């Protein structure tokens, strides 16, 4: 009978079975062809950060390095803008892109005075996924109607680092304030910076987004709805969902007609902003997913207001974060009426002076989204059962180009010292 030889390798120890003889020996240090998960070229970024042992606080760095490796300098015509990526490199927490841009009027001059030729775009916790109806990455979740009906939602995406970078810059250009015609451009001048920030996806390491919704078992007064339900058994926080909603509902016309109200939190780690820079402008944006108005509506109608927020944790939401006093009553931007809330598009809020002051250069910038009547503590009127229900995309695994977004334009302040001034005396 023929006997086959059998090799078994366990770690560096080889066990060799030759016929009936068992021999063991120490194998030399050789490459057995094992590929590290994070360097496996067969895996894409999304797969790596969801399956490989990448620490939470290193995911943004990892994405930045991978994006910089994959995206090459190029000039691309978009729908409205032409964008030239001059240089791209990884930075702590993301990626930096040096780019020129053109619109229908010619080349865009950046900076406060329009002299900047090449703008510096820094993207922190950068997205890598873009929507694609034929994409192989599928997100499925349940959204409930106010009547409690579960609606299955599906979103298809693909990983495309080049398209993601271009979409980020394209949207930035649409909201930036330091945009000028090109007459004053100084060739080769590089901008100080436009920085873009996104919240963490679940599980978070620095910044959270999501909503807290109250849904009491019995109808309540307006006062109880907005100030007394943070500990109610049916008040719940959602900080890991694909979407969050802005929701208000009034039931029958009686003394206690109110049933639902929600508040949204969106936190951003903006500690990378240089302490010596002046913040020239900033825009916070939320991507509309769906909206519904049932019944006759309320008077005044729903408006979307941007305010401050202060949840107990920067990385998780709990139902107690519904507490009225955790949200500011000062508007950080012009409110957006329900009829103007865009679906399948970003809703952009240019921050006013109070909103700019809310941006932290050393830590987490915390924003809340509230129904205008909630901010004003002013009870709306309405007939019968009526509600507004608006869903917005939240941060998702690996990041998409529809996540909540904060775009900050900032400029280095150059101090002119007395010894730098040359005085001329006229005879």
Residue 399: the pLDDT is 86
> Residue 399 — φ and ψ, nearest 5°?
95, 135
Q: Is the dihedral of CA 309, 310, 316, 319 positive or negative?
A: negative
Degrees to nearest 5, angle at CA 79 with 78 and 81: 60
Name the DSSP letter for residue 397: T
Distance between CA atoms of 48 and 266, rounded to whole angstroms?
Answer: 26
Whether the Cβ atoms of residue 51 and residue 65 lie closer than 8 Å to each other? no
Task: Give Cα separations from 384 to 218, 290, 378 (angstroms).
Answer: 16, 23, 19
Here the tokens at position 24 are 């063991």
Tokens 């998702």 locate to 396
Residue stretches of the chain with pLDDT short of 50 = 1-5, 7-34, 415-427
Distance CA 410, CA 208 (A): 24
> What 3-state DSSP class applies to 380?
coil
Q: Which of 83, 88, 100 is nearest to 191 (CA)?
A: 100
Can you give the pTM of this predicted structure? 0.87
Q: Which residue has the tokens 């007394």?
A: 228
The answer to whether residues 188 and 117 touch, using CB atoms and an 8 Å cutoff, is yes
- Distance, in Å, from the CA atom of 178 to the CA atom of 132, rounded to the nearest integer, reads 32
């Amino acid at each position: 009978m023929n006997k086959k030889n059998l090799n078994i390798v366990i770690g560096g120890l080889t066990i060799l079975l030759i016929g009936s003889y068992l021999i063991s020996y120490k194998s030399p240090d050789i490459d057995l062809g094992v590929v590290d998960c994070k360097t496996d070229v067969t895996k894409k970024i999304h797969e790596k950060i969801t399956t490989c042992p990448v620490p939470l606080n290193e995911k943004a760095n990892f994405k930045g390095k991978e994006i910089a490796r994959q995206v090459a300098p190029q000039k691309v015509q978009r729908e409205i803008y032409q964008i030239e990526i001059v240089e791209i490199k990884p930075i702590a927490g993301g990626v930096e892109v040096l780019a020129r841009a053109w619109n229908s009027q010619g080349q865009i001059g950046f900076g406060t005075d329009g002299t900047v030729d090449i703008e510096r775009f820094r993207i922190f916790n950068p997205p890598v996924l873009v929507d694609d109806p034929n994409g192989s990455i599928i997100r499925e979740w349940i959204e409930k109607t106010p009547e409690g009906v579960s609606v299955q939602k599906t979103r298809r995406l693909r990983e495309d680092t080049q398209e993601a970078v271009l979409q980020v810059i394209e949207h930035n250009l649409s909201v930036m304030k330091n945009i000028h015609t090109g007459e004053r451009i100084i060739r080769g001048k590089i901008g100080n910076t436009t920085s873009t920030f996104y919240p963490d996806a679940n599980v978070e390491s620095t910044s959270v987004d999501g909503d807290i919704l109250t849904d009491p078992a019995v109808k309540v007064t307006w006062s109880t709805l907005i100030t007394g339900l943070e500990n109610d058994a049916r008040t719940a926080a959602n900080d890991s969902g694909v979407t969050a909603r802005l929701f208000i509902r009034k039931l029958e016309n009686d003394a206690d007609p109110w049933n639902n109200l929600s508040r949204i939190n969106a936190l951003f780690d903006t500690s990378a902003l240089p302490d010596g820079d002046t913040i020239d402008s900033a825009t916070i944006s939320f991507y509309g997913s769906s909206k519904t108005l049932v019944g006759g509506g309320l008077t005044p109608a729903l408006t979307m207001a941007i305010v401050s927020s202060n949840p107990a944790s920067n990385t998780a939401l709990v139902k107690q974060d519904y507490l009225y006093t955790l949200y500011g009553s000062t508007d950080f931007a012009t409110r957006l009426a329900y009829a103007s809330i865009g679906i399948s598009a970003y809703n952009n809020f240019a921050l006013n002076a109070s909103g700019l002051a809310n941006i932290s250069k050393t830590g987490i910038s915390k924003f809340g989204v509230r129904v205008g009547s909630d901010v004003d503590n002013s009870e709306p009127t309405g007939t019968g059962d009526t509600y507004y229900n608006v869903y917005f995309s939240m941060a998702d695994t690996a990041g998409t180009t529809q996540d909540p977004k904060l775009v900050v334009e900032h400029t280095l302040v150059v101090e002119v010292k007395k010894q730098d001034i040359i005085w001329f005396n006229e005879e």
